[in-house]
Amino acid sequence: MALFRKKLDLPTPGEALPGRATRMPIPPSHFVTGEPLDGVFEGCERILVAMGCFWGAERKFWQAPGVVSTSVGYVAGATPNPTYEEVCSGLTGHTEAVRAIYDPKQTSYEAMLRIFWESHDPTQGMRQGNDVGTQYRSGLYYYDDAQKTLALASRDAYQEKLRAAGYGRITTEIGPAPEYYFAEDYHQQYLAKNPNGYCGLGGTGVSCPIGVVSA
């Protein structure tokens, strides 16, 4: 079916699916932490990333010290409130994303960046391992100038580490945090609900020292 073909180019505005105005319903609480998936988190900060299939990526963050809540969704596309099937068609332009809420008194943005870079291969373009398509592209999206500075510095530092290890150019798209559309309920904390579920996440084995991204 055309809906499920693998597209490796982002759709033009004229090609993008129309989507809908209705927001995806989400569960009232995180399956692992019990915290809300959305809302105001007093004293907390957030990071928004894309690193391949969001099932395994989300687990990396909810397992990290200092993380209060996580969720998965779709970002950086043209279709409002897309469904999973629409995103997989390649006709929305979105990539699968993870949003993590963390307590800066217990961890840091730099520590979150380290999880991001080390947990996937950011040199693979429109794929991640065996998962191929625009929805699996790597992305790092900042919420303010401080995050932007650290995101770019971490990319440049990690690029040098990767090059020394024989890897190519980082293809991660870095830009302002776009609108975040929650994914369907069954995708949220998927690997906690399905411990034997698929996880295609794999890093390069190249370390990204936290010190290299300090301001």
Which residues belong to the active site?
A: 53
Query: What are the tokens at 74?
Result: 């779709």
- Write the Ramachandran bin of 190: left for phi over 0, alpha for psi from -120 to 50, otherwise beta: alpha
Find the DSSP H helices in the chain.
54-62, 84-88, 109-118, 145-164, 190-193
Helix 109-118 to helix 145-164 angle (10° resolution) is 40
- Alpha-carbon Rg for the chain, nearest whole angstrom, is 16
DSSP 73-109: EEESSSSSS--HHHHHTT-S--EEEEEEEE-TTT--H
Pick from 126, 174, 115: nearest CA to 6:
126
DSSP secondary structure of 29-46: S-TTT-S-SSS--TT-EE
